[in-house]
Amino acid sequence: MEPQKKRVFSGIQPTGNIHLGNYLGAVKNWVAKQDEKVNFFCIVDLHSLTVPQDPADLRFQTRSLAAMLIACGIDPQKSTLFIQSHVSAHAEGAWLLNCITPLGWLQRMTQFKDKSAKQESVLTGLLDYPVLMTGDIIFYDAHEVPVGEDQKQHVELARDIAQRFNSLYEEEFFIVPEPVIPEVGARVMGLDDPTNKMSKSLAHVRGHAIRLLDEPKEIERSFKRAVTDSGNEIAFSDDPEKAGVNNLLGIYKAVTGKSEADVLADFANARGYGDLKKGVAAVTIEMLRPIQERYQALMADPVELDRLLAIGAAQAQAISQPKVDQMKQMMGLVPPRR
Ligand code: ATP
Ligand code: LTN
């Protein structure tokens, strides 16, 4: 008998512009592993409401991200792709988890401390967000949660909440999930500042990121302006002075899938960084071309996109709602089934 495939859950917020770092560091790996695992990919629109959003903008960004993920290769036949607010079990179950989660656990979260310090008026949802995230994961019995380093503490909290529910109500009811942090190699740095990671919240800044929907001319321009150094040696390096060139080579390597030796061979005859920048731009444009075409086709066919998202939501609801219904029974809200 085939061993049971592990369940993977990951979420991505529909805010900001999806960029090359998100693709090379996260989405590309999700696509590659679709056959090995049972995957749930969720566009977490409820999470986005933890900071104020323009309703029309949020609606558009949510659909646009769904289309982009499919365009990148998330196959709705292989993976369950859905929008969080379409599946009512998330909000319903999060309330139940709220009522077993000590406030102090949430107040300790470093992301809450950082984000709330920067805002004048802090919404309750911002504090409570890790509980909603816990439900996302544990209502699907997910074993693995691929996330960036910044989300590790939230997945650890999810483990604590799952264990607390299990010890209060029924041992082993929830799977205790593990965070899966990608290797550091998958870190794409900002083109304008190669010492800081390329980031969604800065993707609107000119020259910072390559956004997956950028036109070829824009991509060429952004790479051309990329910060390098005053030398001319094209080599992989850990030297912070050479971070710009290292980042460009890293992007070329990730896009082409070539070995470091083959990457360097491609630039053996380059006359300085200008040729490196042109080379990286060319392979990135070629990689993004079919993704952009598929994206445009999906956005032009809203009926098909709705159909795919409705299938995803139905599959997700069929798994998470029974789990939440069982919680309701255990917690004394509805009589247990005989
Ligand atoms: P922000 O930096 O504004 O918080 P983000 O760009 O990190 O946003 P997320 O939605 O938090 O975007 O991340 C989605 C996924 O993309 C995560 O798995 C994250 O680890 C990955 N990711 C984000 N930025 C990079 C990057 N520069 N290089 C590699 N992977 C990245
Ligand atoms: N909080 C995450 C997004 C997220 C998530 C999840 C990730 C919401 N629910 C469940 C993994 C599993 C973020 O902001 N990157």
Identified catalytic residue from 78, 152, 200, 258: 200
Could you confirm whether 253 is annotated as catalytic? no
Check residue 265 and give its pLDDT. 97
For residue 283, pLDDT over 70 is answered with yes
Mean pLDDT for the stretch of residues 243-260? 95
| Ligand 2, pocket-test mutation among 7, 19, 42, 141, most atoms within 8 A of CB | 42
**CA dihedral over 108, 189, 136, 143, signed as positive or negative:** negative
Q: How far, in Å, is the centroid of ligand 2 from the Cα of 221? A: 32
* Domains of the chain, earliest start first: 7-181+302-330 (3.40.50.620), 200-296 (1.10.240.10)
Give pLDDT, residue 228: 96
Give the amino acid at 245.
Answer: V
Backbone angles phi, psi at 180, to 5 degrees: -120, 110
Strand partners, 211: 19
Could you give the CA distance from residue 91 to residue 93 in angstroms, rounded to a whole number?
A: 6
Q: Could you say which DSSP state residue 150 is in? A: G
Q: What is the mean pLDDT of residues 115-139?
A: 95
Confidence band for 149, pLDDT divided at 50, 70 and 90 = confident
Mean pLDDT of 20-24: 93
Model confidence at 322, pLDDT cuts 50, 70, 90, reads very high
Is residue 99 a contact partner of residue 329, using CB atoms and an 8 Å limit?
A: no
Cβ neighbour number for residue 41 with a 10 Å cutoff: 23
184 pLDDT tier (thresholds 50, 70, 90) = low
Tens-digit pLDDT profile for residues 66-92:
999 999 999 999 999 999 999 999 999
Binding site membership of 136 for ligand 2 (Cβ less than 6 Å): yes
Q: Are 85 and 306 in contact (CB under 8 A)?
A: no
Ligand 2 midpoint to CA 11 (Å) = 4
Does 135 or 197 have the greater pLDDT score?
135
3-state secondary structure of 261: helix
From residue 245, give the alpha-carbon distance in Å to each of 30, 81, 205, 238, 289: 27, 36, 20, 10, 24
In whole angstroms, give the CA distance from residue 135 to residue 141.
10
Confidence check: pLDDT of 50 > 80: yes
Q: What is the mean pLDDT of the chain?
A: 94
Q: Is 115 a catalytic residue?
A: yes
Query: ∠ at Cα 46 (45, 47), nearest 5°?
Result: 90
How remote is the CA of residue 187 from the centroid of ligand 1, in Å? 9
pLDDT class of 1 with cuts at 50, 70, 90 = low
Which whole number is the average pLDDT over 6-17? 92
Q: Which residue(s) pair with 12 in the sheet?
A: 43
pLDDT of the residue at 338: 67
> How far, in Å, from the CA of 57 to the mean position of ligand 2?
20
Task: Name the active-site residue from 197, 224, 258, 323.
Answer: 197
Would you say residue 143 has pLDDT above 60? yes
**pTM for the full predicted model:** 0.93
For residue 278, indicate whether it is catalytic.
Answer: no
Query: Is a pLDDT exceeding 80 seen at residue 168?
Result: yes
Residue type, 18: I
Mean pLDDT on 85-103: 98
Indicate whether 34 pLDDT > 80: yes
Closest CA to 193 of 6, 4, 7, 21: 21
**Greatest distance between any 2 Cα atoms in the chain:** 77
Q: Give the integer Cα–Cα distance in Å for 8 and 201.
A: 26
pLDDT digit string, tens, across residues 217-236: 999 999 999 999 999 999 99
Average pLDDT for residues 281-300, to the nearest whole number?
A: 98
pLDDT for residue 54 is more than 70: yes
